[in-house]
Structure 1
Amino acid sequence: MSFDLKNIEQKKTTVKSDKSEWSAILQKEIVLFGNGFSIKLKEDFYTELSVLLSAGVSLKEGLELLSNSQKKKNAKEILDVIVTDLVEGKSMSNAIKTHKAFSEYEYYSIKIGEETGTLSAVVKQLGAFFARKNQQRRDVISALTYPIIVFTTAFLVVLFMLQFVVPMFQDIFRQNKVELPWITKFIVSVSEFVKSYGLLVIGAIILLFASRFLFNEKEWYRRFKDQFILKIPFFGNFIKTVYLSQFTQAIALLSASKVPVVNSIQLVKKMIKFYPLQDALHTVEASILRGATLSESLASHAIFSDKMIALVKVSEQTNQTEFIFDRLNTQYHEQVQRQSKMMSTIMEPLIIVFVGIMVGVILIAMYLPMFKLGTVLGG
């Protein structure tokens, strides 16, 4: 069975608002609770809706039950509007399309479910997709939270020493005219730099993090950020694995709905917001349209592993696309979990060692001249 996405696409009834920082945040697939559906909320929504539909409850009644049980005000309002649209004769896919809280991937998936009469199975698959995505998000957060806290604390400790402790020793050495070794001169120079430009450096760091919200709607910024993340040792490979896991899961779900490969690539390309993968999928789509197989198209991009390409080739020969991509997704998901645990395990001692070295260097640099000072005072 084949679906033409262009025929599915309909003109949106909502008027696009002017682009701004806040609209960029609203258009994200991951949105705040106050503005729509978070990943966790979508996981619960689709899973519970699938259970209700499988139990014989109508779509309208199911959405009403979910709306009445919804504690988040904005999410409840969205569900109420969707129910109203259903009463007016709209399909669920067209009803959710007018809300920025839902992605194009969800719209097309539900549209396909409506056309094939498998809406219950599709929403169950969407629930599984967001459950896995939510788990991966937790893995990333758990892997980075503790190291970031430790590193931030260490940075503040070193900054305090350079700002207040080193100048105290510097005054003592200056008053007694002690000749300083090179390492002490270096630390003193760093301390003077921190005293003169420390606030500017902190401001620049804050501005760097704030730029994510200021420029995140800009394509050049997102492209630069994704390419930069991909080049970070170990962490870049970890992030790539997370997105490959999402890619394989999405293809597996769409294959289960009998969506053709080209259309699946089109949907996933719109759903995954990671430019290295999006660019690769763009050329993969063009290559397939020229007559190449999926495995041949994937082979021309370094972001796809040789193992994936080999298994995809097997899936083409055996017509087991759904099974192979499901197995790939399981492997990538397990790899994400292992790498997240390894990252937190490795980064913690590395940061502690780094902090110890920094503090030790500062202390050694300050105490080396003390021996000369003791000789001067003793004489």
Structure 2
Amino acid sequence: MAVYVWQGKLKGKIEKGEMEAPSRSAVLARLRGMQIRPIPEKIKEKSSFLDFNIAFGGIPTRDLVVFTRQLSTMIDAGLPLVRSLEVIREQQPNAAFKVIIGKVKEDVEGGSSFADALEKHPKAFDSLYANLARAGESAGVLDVVLQRLASYLEKMDGIKRRIKGAMIYPAVVISVAVIVLSVIMIFVVPTFAELFKDLGTTLPSLTIVIVNISTWLKSNIIYLLIAIVLMVIGVTSLYSKSLKARRLMDGFLLKLWLVGNLLLKTVIARFCRTLATLTSGGLPILDGLEITAKSAGNIVVEEAIMDVRKKVSEGQLLAEPLAARPKIFPPMVVQMISVGEQTGNLDDMLDKIADFYEDEVDVAVAALLSAMEPAMIFFLGCTVGIIVVAMYLPMFKLVATMAG
């Protein structure tokens, strides 16, 4: 059972306290039995580590997909929504998600619509999820909409996993390279520097530069690390708070060689898949475009989609304003959407475009890795080679002097 904090009036005076109960409605009933008139908006579940976990970690997509598929199957089999939520809650291994499902069930049991109950937990159920649930409830096809949602979530998660999986190798190589170079510069080079000092030989210019860098790093490594951390925090903060900074950074990323190509294909795949899922679920095109814009993941693309939405609201077909933005929406995408609008099969056409671009994402990831691997090896080889040559040049000079 959960612990709830409550406030109520007893003989005109405000009373406060905590109470362990299976649900919020049970707290209300118990307070009334104690002759306390509860203040409903002041009765909340006590914050816990799970709340912190939900706020900062969210709910894994895999858990959300399983929940969505299970709920769809149970509703399709004829189980009432409240009973379905209770069964899923009891079987849910994720403690944080279990709490959320319990709260959704309580709200539905208390008379709230399913979509309204979901909207209270945006960290678990985004606006796309809640709006599709609302459309499904209104049309009486919640089970069908939930199946579409589960498929959509799986495909979007698949793109993320493929990109993240592909980035693991270069991330590991770069991390190892940084560690190796740091060890060489902070521990190995100073040893050679002491040796050269004892020999009393004049050092070549390259060796002097490497030794000076090593000495500076050894003396300032802590300050350098602090500066890097502060810079990352500063850039992240600026990105999240400044719209101008987001436009600048997101626009730059879209133009970046190879990376921009990958991002653009990911954006198109997400745009088409999201819009197809929303419109096939019964949402009007204008609502679908607004939700799709918010899930774009790039402010430049988000603003472009919102501008497209404005043009559509003024009476234009979807393909027309998209065609005015060829740098984001290629001609092939625009032509296929135009055909979909003319034939009345826009949902199917958007899904086909999404399928194509999801395959293109895999190709772009492979191209990025093919370019990064030799570049990383070349950079690491050159850097280590320069350090090794710099350390051995004084020895070659000393041997040449002794031989002379």
> TM-score, length-normalised on structure 2?
0.79
Question: Residue 195 of structure 2 is aligned with which of 172, 178, 187?
Answer: 172
CA positional deviation for 1:94: 0.7
Contact 1:122 1:257 in 2 (8 A): yes
In structure 1, C-alpha distance between the alignment counterparts of 2:255 and 2:331, rounded to whole Å: 19
- 1:243 matched to which residue of 2? 267
Contact 2:247 2:299 in 1 (8 A): yes
Q: What does residue range 39-188 of structure 1 map to in structure 2 within 5 Å?
A: 39-101=61-123, 102-188=125-211
In structure 1, C-alpha distance between the alignment counterparts of 2:86 and 2:54, rounded to whole Å: 24
Q: Indicate how the Cα distance of structure 1 residues 185 and 293 shifts in structure 2: closer, same or farther if over 3 A, else same.
A: farther
Question: Residue 284 of structure 1 is aligned with which of 301, 305, 308?
Answer: 308
CA positional deviation for 1:216: 6.4
CA positional deviation for 1:37: 2.2
In structure 1, C-alpha distance between the alignment counterparts of 2:330 and 2:275, rounded to whole Å: 16
Alignment RMSD, CA only? Answer: 2.7
- 1:317 matched to which residue of 2? 342
Secondary structure of 1:100's counterpart equals: coil
Secondary structure of 2:329's counterpart equals: coil
Question: Residue 278 of structure 2 is aligned with which of 254, 259, 262?
Answer: 254
In structure 2, C-alpha distance between the alignment counterparts of 1:48 and 1:188, rounded to whole Å: 63
Q: Indicate how the Cα distance of structure 1 residues 258 and 55 shifts in structure 2: closer, same or farther if over 3 A, else same.
A: same
Q: Indicate how the Cα distance of structure 1 residues 46 and 318 shifts in structure 2: closer, same or farther if over 3 A, else same.
A: same
CA positional deviation for 1:357: 1.7
CA positional deviation for 1:251: 1.0
Q: How big is each residue's C-alpha offset from its partner over 1:272-304, in whole Å with a ceiling of 9 and x where there is no partner?
A: 332121111121112222333211211222222
Q: What does residue range 183-222 of structure 1 map to in structure 2 within 5 Å?
A: 183-211=206-234, 217-220=240-243, 222=246
2:362 equivalent to 1:337: yes
In structure 1, C-alpha distance between the alignment counterparts of 2:75 and 2:306, rounded to whole Å: 35
In structure 2, C-alpha distance between the alignment counterparts of 1:47 and 1:372, rounded to whole Å: 73
In structure 2, C-alpha distance between the alignment counterparts of 1:26 and 1:134, rounded to whole Å: 19
In structure 1, C-alpha distance between the alignment counterparts of 2:320 and 2:352, rounded to whole Å: 20
In structure 2, C-alpha distance between the alignment counterparts of 1:310 and 1:88, rounded to whole Å: 48
Q: Indicate how the Cα distance of structure 1 residues 329 and 223 shifts in structure 2: closer, same or farther if over 3 A, else same.
A: same
Query: How many residue pairs align between the two structures?
Result: 354
CA positional deviation for 1:373: 1.0
Secondary structure of 1:197's counterpart equals: helix
Structure 1 alignment gaps of length 5 or more: 1-12, 16-22
Q: How big is each residue's C-alpha offset from its partner over 1:40-75, in whole Å with a ceiling of 9 and x where there is no partner?
A: 211111122122222222222221111111012221
- 1:18 matched to which residue of 2? none
Q: Indicate how the Cα distance of structure 1 residues 356 and 262 shifts in structure 2: closer, same or farther if over 3 A, else same.
A: same
- 2:333 matched to which residue of 1? 308
CA positional deviation for 1:257: 2.5
Identity of aligned residues (%): 27
Q: Whose strand proportion is higher, 1 or 2?
A: 2
Contact 2:54 2:96 in 1 (8 A): no
- 1:9 matched to which residue of 2? none
Contact 1:299 1:309 in 2 (8 A): yes
Q: Indicate how the Cα distance of structure 1 residues 152 and 252 shifts in structure 2: closer, same or farther if over 3 A, else same.
A: same
Q: Which amino acid aligns with 2:343?
A: T
Contact 1:158 1:359 in 2 (8 A): yes
The answer to which of 204-213 and 53-62 deviates more is 204-213
Question: Residue 38 of structure 1 is aligned with which of 60, 65, 83?
Answer: 60
Q: How big is each residue's C-alpha offset from its partner over 1:92-139, in whole Å with a ceiling of 9 and x where there is no partner?
A: 001111113221111111111111122111111111111112111211
The answer to which of 230-239 and 213-222 deviates more is 213-222
> TM-score, length-normalised on structure 1?
0.84
Contact 1:24 1:217 in 2 (8 A): no
CA positional deviation for 1:91: 0.9
Contact 1:24 1:216 in 2 (8 A): no
- 1:230 matched to which residue of 2? 254
Q: Which amino acid aligns with 1:104?
A: S
Contact 1:94 1:107 in 2 (8 A): yes
CA positional deviation for 1:232: 3.3
2:292 equivalent to 1:271: no
Q: Indicate how the Cα distance of structure 1 residues 224 and 353 shifts in structure 2: closer, same or farther if over 3 A, else same.
A: same
